[in-house]
Structure 1
Amino acid sequence: MQEVWEDANVKIGDVLSDVFGLSGQLMWEALVAGQSSAGEVAQLARGHARKKIAELTAALEGHPMRDAHRFLITRAMRHRAFLADEIEALDQEIARSLTRPDLSQPNSTSIVGSRIWIPSRPSRRVKSFSEQRR
């Protein structure tokens, strides 16, 4: 994606620390939508990036954003959003699978020092050595 931005002469990566943050996303969406004024696009900056509007305007000046650039950036942003959704789904599944079962249920126990939970089987009480001698 960086190559597409460089080919379009868009240099906001030189100004923003995170081009995928809120400010960066708003700016890329505006560029893809066809907003051509560098000043308008720079005004979309949020948070700490608002202090860099002059630098952002300069970084956005004269960008020859062609339809091919718009197409490639749109596809890349959609792919990034898809991957973010997949990561979120995986995180949720991992969190769900790591939750401990309810030990108040009969016949469940754990192996000491491990996170593995197994059902236990009822067993006879083993008498201690002193009880056996009586």
Structure 2
Amino acid sequence: MNKIALLLTLLASLLGAKDFQLLYPHNQTLCVEGSLCPILWRSDWKGTLCIEAAIGGHDKGLLNDCQTPVGSGLYLWEIPERFVSGFGPEGSRDVRLAFYPAGHPEQMIFSPPFTVMRPGACHTNF
């Protein structure tokens, strides 16, 4: 294992990433603006969960009100129309979600990138 991978693994373990496993979306997920995208996880965290979104590293804010019970393992995200396409492109392959226990943003972990596109867009055009 190279030094960077080792450092990232150590950092993730210190921040509690072992206590949270994202099941969906994953890097092969394709979601469409205006439709529901289920977010599924398993976690040992207690309390409630905050879920944020970002496109290409630009924060899009909270998806929930930080009141989603961690134990539920499910949040149904209705992707707003023009969530990505409102900025010009038909879609983005670099949408990520961030998760952390309410009140503990220092434990934030990120999803792998996945795709969100406007209805009718061809995923090979962006």
TM-score range, shorter chain: under 0.3
Q: RCO greater where, 1 or 2, for CA within 8 Å and sep 6 or more? A: 2
TM norm structure 1: 0.21
Give 1 or 2 for the bigger CA radius of gyration.
1
TM-score, normalised relative to structure 2: 0.22
- Give the number of the structure whose residues are more often strand, by fraction: 2
